[in-house]
Amino acid sequence: MRCAIVHYHELALKGRNRPFFEARLVRNLRQVLRDLSVTQVESLPGRIRISLPNETPWKLVKTRLARIFGIANFSLAQSVPLEKDAHASLDALKSAIGDAVRELPFTTFRVTTKRADKRFPMTSMDVDREVGAHLCRLTGKRVSLDNPDLTVHIELLARDAYYSTQREAGPGGLPVGISGKVACLLSGGIDSPVAAQRMMKRGCKAVFVHFHGRPYVSRASEEKVREIVQLLTQYQLYSRLYLIPFGDIQRQIVLGAPAAFRVVLYRRMMLRIAEELARRERCWALVTGDSLGQVASQTPENLGVVEEAAQLPVLRPLIGMDKIEITEQAQRIGTFETSIEPDQDCCKLFVPAHPSTKTHLDQIRKAERGFDLDALVKQGLEGAELAEFRFPAQ
């Protein structure tokens, strides 16, 4: 049997909740592979097996599995049935592995065996020695336990043994969907997509909220954000994006509030609107791409004043990261090139030359008395557009 063997790490520590976590990971794997003729994804002791038809390209499967949170590592494997006669089973295993590695380019190798079913009479070390000796005789190559060119992985289960010659790293984390939903404010810059992806890695399903500057700017930022959400959907398979017209709300704030407080007032209004959407979507928290001290709205004083406008928790996954770290992460997840494309978003609209960096809450509350906040929130919600994204695309 040609299959992918998926291993997890953090899920194994979940005690009584482990079956729930495993079931969610199996469900996500079935969904991401549903268009590749993959029909069988099942839990085995300590691992998950994905049966792969011969026509299913491994390169495409590998690319998709590398984005599924909850996976520690995975490999393309072949199975050998285990018979009642352990020596006959071992001979069949040695023969199959020998055929698999015979033409591979390597000088040194090692064999690593895991015996998931302890009823198999030979220990893992016994199997390592037997298979290793066979490969030495067959290929003339030597064993290196410290730095081998090739590692043969063997897994002994109740009915079958699985072997592979290359193991791929997974993204780790928790399966998306087991930690509830969060509403992520997505600006289209470098930071917020990284913040959203980090929450996905902790098992959260992200609902995206983007504030654009229309009617005072073009649709460039909206198209850019759509592309970013499409990229991020590869990690959570289904996404909802709310596009909120914010330009006129900003104009009203400009006309009725001191210039120094505009940025903080913008951010507080964004949180209020996003929170209403989050409640509709049954999200338990808001997520922003704030990094401490990066811009005027992200000073300690301003972060506290902005957060006071929301009742839901405000999560900031990037708060202790610097721009270089965030940029490197954006490059790894594939959003960086899109994020740096030029656009006209609401964050650059009506920005004062000298925004306040140490705003006091009483100052902001005084400034907000001049506005009908409920009406502004309603205005934003009534103009919201919803876009949906799926991966693989239907």
pLDDT, residue 348, reads 61
Q: What is the mean pLDDT of each run of 10 residues along the chain (394 residues)?
A: 91 83 95 91 93 93 96 96 89 95 94 90 94 95 94 94 95 96 95 98 97 83 94 97 94 91 94 98 97 87 94 97 96 94 66 82 93 96 96 86
pLDDT, residue 158, reads 87
Can the peptide bond before residue 19 be classed as cis, meaning omega within 30 degrees of 0? Answer: no
pLDDT, residue 344, reads 65
First to last CA, the chain: 29
pLDDT, residue 350, reads 66
| CATH of span 181-390 | 3.40.50.620
Q: Are 312 and 283 in contact (CB under 8 A)?
A: yes
Report pTM.
0.92
Q: Where are the domains of the chain?
A: 2-169, 181-390
Which amino acid belongs to residue 371? F
pLDDT, residue 347, reads 60
pLDDT, residue 73, reads 96
pLDDT, residue 27, reads 96
| CATH of span 2-169 | 3.30.2130.30
Alpha-carbon Rg for the chain in angstroms = 27
Residues 65, 66, 67, 71, CA torsion sign: positive
Domains 2-169 and 181-390 share a fold: no
| Three-state DSSP state, 228 | helix
